[in-house]
Chains A and B, each alone.
Chain A
């Protein structure tokens, strides 16, 4: 297994909020100063190595002045629209229409990676600041891949078949929790419900990882 596959087979930790690429054009121009409190930059691409190097350069060039920026990578099972999403101080930024020099870097990344485009089994890269915000959705990962995303408002019970059997997940107004799992010690089902972006649940025997954003 090469280094990339090895890393992707492991589970990358997360935090903060995100927005789907389809919402990219929803909000207008940004007029915020460069030194900001929080942001989330997401790239869905088939060329993660090049993308991560460009994200790093963008972050350094941007002089965000926030100390540690969190970085995460996950592979996504199936087809997905590759693109770049930039959320800054809670606002989705349409950098494609912005004249701000900061966003020229993002336009370059988009162009270099030939985005937007439909990509098979792409990789999702995120660069973000820590957030204490309420989670909007949870992602379910199996074998290092996101297999399902669930809005926190989609109350109900969900089941996932894993190596050890079925893991049952409940989404309710009190958060997301594992209610039962076909594993020996059921440590996962003893964990409290997750509600904040960055929280996560894991069932080790069933190789199931759930994280909130």
Chain B
């Protein structure tokens, strides 16, 4: 889970009139700790009350998703599935069912490099909990845990929206998809409440709705993974998301080797050869997943024409961003 990956640069000039009719517009920001990370919303509207209500309902929506999809809490719906689905089919809400169903489709599409059944491995590495691994990883134990990983052991029954596991010890971790889904839902809430110009930041995955001002788009900067104070790329976006997976927020250095939280579901170890992987997409759910695929597998697995920006080991960058100005 990333915490803060981007700086947001507000390069708008000091004086401008955002709306065509010179109406005063208000910009309000609020942040909240949800889904184990830091969410921040900046909303722009001609009514302060509209900003407040939209932000409130957007956060409520993320909170609602956290309640059924988060592994961080024992009381969530997904925790109940993990505890019981190996014993009997567990009935779940239609929303969770559909989220898991989409996850399995992604797993098929990307040859298992995206796999929500990696729970035993995430538990072992501990980067998503308060107990990151502090000793050198045990290869034989990882090999053993890999025996419990495999999305094909998750069985969905669309007739009664139940989920069952074919293997005891399997555990779903929706960390690779739930945040993206929550971002998409929050975007919908903001739009539905009349907020067209906003910035939504979920632990460094950022969606820029509309514009910062009439004259300026939102500008998002990608951090240098090794020199966090430096920005290596600036991207102008409008109604698009910039989503990044990086090895620099949650990691342990053990005997001089960096172990981080983005690991390859095929071998159970943190993916090598990449420091940060960024994609630019409209859809956050797909984008969050694509950034991980890009990090783990490289650009070959991405759908063609997906704008990306990668910083590999030794700081060498690669990209197909021919211009830095994206509009939906």
Contact = CB atoms under 8 A, between A and B. Distances in A.
A66 interface: yes
Interface stretch (B15-23, B182-190, B269-277, B288-296): B15-23
B130 interface: yes
Interface residues of A, number: 41
A13 B31 contact: yes
Interface stretch (A4-12, A94-102, A152-160): A4-12
A86 interface: no
Contact of B24 (A6, A10, A37, A69): A69
Interface residues on B, range: 35 or more
Contacts of A73: 52
Contacts of A202: 4, 31, 38
Nearest to B212: A68
Contact of A185 (B16, B18, B38, B249): B249
Nearest to B17: A67
A26 to B, nearest CB: 26
Contacts of A127: 26
Given A11-B32, A12-B28, A204-B3, A6 B60 contact: yes
Nearest to B34: A10
B44 to A, nearest CB: 6
A69 B31 CA distance: 18
Q: Which 6 A-B pairs have the closest CB atoms?
A: A13-B29, A68-B27, A10-B32, A67-B16, A10-B30, A67-B18
Interface of B: 3-4, 10, 12, 14-18, 22-33, 37-38, 40, 42, 44, 47-49, 51-53, 55-56, 59-60, 130, 132, 212-214, 228-229, 249-251
11 contacts: A3-B52, A7-B56, A13-B29, A59-B24, A59-B26, A67-B12, A67-B25, A69-B26, A70-B26, A71-B27, A184-B132
